[in-house]
Amino acid sequence: MTEPEFSIKKTLEEAETDAYLMTGNLHNSDIYYATHFLASDDFVYLQTGTGEEVLFISEMEKGRAEIESRVSNIKTTQDLGYREKIKEKKDASLAYAACISELLLREKVKKVSVPYDFPIFYSDSLKEAGFSIVPVKSPFQKIRSLKRPKEVEAIKYAQMAGEKAMGAAIAIIREAEERDGILYHEGEMLTGTKVNSAIDHRLLDFGCEAEETIVSCGKDTANPHGTTDGPLMANAPIILDIFPRSKKKRYFADMTRTVLHGEASKELKEMYESVLAAQEKGLQTVKPGIPASDVHNAVCDVFEKRGYDTYRSGSKVGFIHSTGHGVGLDVHELPGVGENGVLLEAGNVITIEPGLYYPETGGIRLEDMVLVTENGYENLTGLEKRFVL
């Protein structure tokens, strides 16, 4: 049998199991990656030690699955007697669990690897039916960290949309007028909510969406994920962090800019210059084969030499988070760019996003997204970095 496109044979051998089983829906990135199929209701993916792949779905999804799914072996609820099992079990969930049991029996599977987040109801049902269940770290997490050309193109598309939205947000802030320290745009008070709305509208123009976009101002920026719904202030830092996803292509991008309308204090200017210098050093460090911790430590070195506190030293102010993370079907995925020793590989898409945060002053963060290449990196973020507008 031909080895599947996404072989997880090594995981099954290490776990001493016959197959890997996962359930999910359109919110589960692993099952979409493995099948290239989406559905609002849960469905099942199975890969056996011999390389056989099975997609188990409801009967109504069969036609669409035959067109969209990369898995050709499709079994439906009707194939496995779902309706008859409902009559027998008097419960739809028990009937569905019985269908999964029958699927495993037909594939001659006895010991099953499942991801850590596998539903406990199905796990208990399978155990009662005589199967051995072994929770394992998802093998698809590592596979997904190495992006193929089509994935990179999908990420670039989302990034393009994100930059258009970021540009629109910055333009509104730049065009604003100050009245008693508060920003106004087109005669109305400019709020974080309004800027967030402008970002959403621009993303929709490109078929993208973003949840939990960060627009924060002033002391709210001292919290890395802080938000400001109300008025945006002049002479204060405004952090804009957008992580859009293409609704069709499903891939995310991620970027952050910090801007200020008015006059920046000497302290804020020095913070911005330090964050920019730390990011540039981090970017220069990126290349395949080095530990991600080298990038993180390079960023911390810059901050500490300039007298700022860092996460590395256990500080609760200053640089208080890791340097970055992988981006793909999830906005946060492998590899992490922090204190871990994982080696960067060509094909990783990661963020480099140092920041400084002080409660009495506010925060500054800059975030670019890069592709690790054979010789170094390609910066996928083209939007300029300008602090004072």
DSSP assignment string, 166-180: HHHHHHHHHH-EEET
In a domain, 389, yes or no: no
Given phi > 0 = left and psi -120 to 50 = alpha, else beta, which region is 347?
Answer: left
Residues 98 and 160 placed together within one structural domain of the fold: no
Q: What angle do CA 134, 138, 144 make, to 5 degrees?
A: 160
Residues 194 and 331 placed together within one structural domain of the fold: yes
Residues 132 and 53 placed together within one structural domain of the fold: yes
Residues 229 and 154 placed together within one structural domain of the fold: yes
Of 38, 148, 48, the residue nearest 107 (C-alpha): 48
Residues 78 and 216 placed together within one structural domain of the fold: no
Residues 223 and 127 placed together within one structural domain of the fold: no
Count of beta carbons in the 10 Å neighbourhood of residue 50 = 14
Tens of pLDDT, residue by residue, the chain (389 residues) = 445 678 899 999 999 999 999 999 999 999 999 999 999 999 999 999 999 999 999 999 999 999 999 999 999 999 999 999 999 999 999 999 999 999 999 999 999 999 999 999 999 999 999 999 999 999 999 999 999 999 999 999 999 999 999 999 999 999 999 999 999 999 999 999 999 999 999 999 999 999 999 999 999 999 999 999 999 999 999 999 999 999 999 999 999 999 999 999 999 999 999 999 999 999 999 999 999 999 999 999 999 999 999 988 889 999 999 999 999 999 999 999 999 889 999 999 999 999 999 999 999 999 999 999 999 999 999 999 999 99
In a domain, 137, yes or no: yes
CATH number at residue 71: 3.40.350.10
Alpha carbon 147 to chain centroid, angstroms: 13
Residues 184 and 276 placed together within one structural domain of the fold: yes
- Of 112, 144, 176, which closes a domain? 144
- Partners of 371 in beta bridges: 349, 378
Structural domain harbouring 228: 149-379
In a domain, 386, yes or no: no
Residues 229 and 331 placed together within one structural domain of the fold: yes
In a domain, 3, yes or no: no
Helix ranges restricted to H, 108-233? 120-128, 139-144, 149-175, 192-204
- Of 104, 124, 144, which closes a domain? 144
Q: Are 22 and 30 in contact (CB under 8 A)?
A: yes
Residues 197 and 157 placed together within one structural domain of the fold: yes
For residues 180 and 253, give the distance between their C-alpha atoms in angstroms, rounded to a whole number.
Answer: 37
